[in-house]
Structure 1
């Protein structure tokens, strides 16, 4: 899979994503299996499952594509998106207040997280596992599809652009140069 390829007229193109539940998955003309990183793109050459050949994901803007969504291939049909199992950690706590505190620590580090009611899922990371365990969480390795929250500013978990309901949207960027004076907590 490679991004920013020159246009190719011989590849079927997907310009539209249909959300899971809004199309008849039984009528899919094939599947494509994409991990989390490859489901947060705008333009990418993809290989369909089962040797059905490549396709070009060519969306107007980056978006978070989820398991069960359909990629509409011009003149071909709809290809179903599958999310494979990934190495994750499941984070649980005895009390919901403690789980909320863990979610805060994860979010403060800009780590994508999947919220699952009484638990959180994040990508496997031994440093985070040690930190969360030290804070009192129960951390268990799991293998499952990863579908983190999209965030407040857009469909993509890595998003930075968002609309304000006044006819247009724009990017506010996302500065990672957080000075010590910007957070309401100590660093030392």
Structure 2
């Protein structure tokens, strides 16, 4: 079984043998067995606390085999607001609940939750169900990187 122990930064030019599509929750599992889309078993043995990002490249511990991580589309809520302050207020309330949130200038994304949907709608926000790649913030104190400039 391939065992990936090293994480390399994203590089679209890097040749990879495999693609591993993972949900946001799966990308937080630093030590786990997964199957690729073609059914090949792979094992991640990365430093604890590693959160993988879309595009990361992992190197097998004993061979030149590399796998590219992709963010697998999954059901999420996309939250939009009429004003920036309303979106900021929603981010504040979600943060108070320690909910993983993807934060962009014009929307927030989170895993579906009916209680949170009601709260957000009561705050005057629009909540839309979608199936897309979900890339929540990794946290202010983690040893992780993001791929976007802020």
- The ranges of structure 1 where at least 4 consecutive aligned residues each deviate by more than 3 angstroms after the TM superposition are none
Shift of 1:39: 0.5
Instruction: Note the residue ranges of structure 1 that are not aligned, 5 or more in a row.
Output: 1-10, 157-188
The two structures, once aligned, show a CA RMSD in angstroms of 1.5
After the TM superposition, which residues 14-163 of structure 1 pair with which residues of structure 2 at under 5 Å, given as runs?
14-21=4-11, 24-25=13-14, 27-51=15-39, 53-74=40-61, 75-155=63-143
Shift of 1:17: 1.3
In structure 2, the residue matched to 1:160 is none
Instruction: Note the residue ranges of structure 2 that are not aligned, 5 or more in a row.
Output: 145-150
Aligned length in residues: 143
Which structure would you say has the larger Rg? 1
Scaled by the length of structure 2, the TM-score of the pair is 0.88
Q: Which structure exhibits the higher relative contact order, with contacts defined as CA atoms closer than 8 Å and separated by 6 or more residues?
A: 2
Scaled by the length of structure 1, the TM-score of the pair is 0.71
CA–CA separation in structure 1 for the residues paired with 2:47 and 2:98? 26
Shift of 1:155: 4.0
CA–CA separation in structure 2 for the residues paired with 1:93 and 1:130? 14
